[in-house]
Amino acid sequence: MNLNELKDIYTSNLKTLRSQKGLSQNQVSEKANITEKIYIDIETGRKWGSFETLINISNALEIEPYELLLPQDQNVNYDSKRTKQLIKHLRSNFCAVVDTMEMFLEDK
């Protein structure tokens, strides 16, 4: 992949994800705390923006920053609520295993 291909992916993702969320360029720029002109320049490929801007835009779109840089067919469906539930479940199960091991070791 070269720089132009990455820029094409980035700008395409910005447009697509913004449209999917039903947001205007102005709404995204306000949520990202940047001017509409800067957002339009980024979405049209005239500018890249800083890492901070990338994070602010991804937060405005309610996605992870890396999702803006992956081809659409490779985007990972990241659901933070489900991930947090999974982590809680795994911790609970891990604690049960540790408790069982402690009881087993105490019996000896």
**Structure confidence by residue, pLDDT tens digits, 43-57:** 999 998 999 999 999
Domain total in the chain: 2
What is residue 83's predicted lDDT score, i.e. its pLDDT? 72
Q: For residue 13, give the CATH number of its domain.
A: 1.10.260.40
Quote the tokens at residue 2.
Answer: 């070269």
State whether 16 and 54 are in the same domain: yes
State whether 65 and 83 are in the same domain: no
Q: Which amino acid is at 74?
A: Q
- Of residues 103 and 56, the one with the higher pLDDT is 56
Residue 11's domain comprises: 3-69
Indicate whether 78 pLDDT > 70. Answer: no
Q: Count other C-beta atoms under 10 Å from residue 52's C-beta.
A: 11
Quote the tokens at residue 14.
Answer: 């910005």
State whether 31 and 64 are in the same domain: yes
State whether 12 and 64 are in the same domain: yes
What is residue 74's predicted lDDT score, i.e. its pLDDT? 57
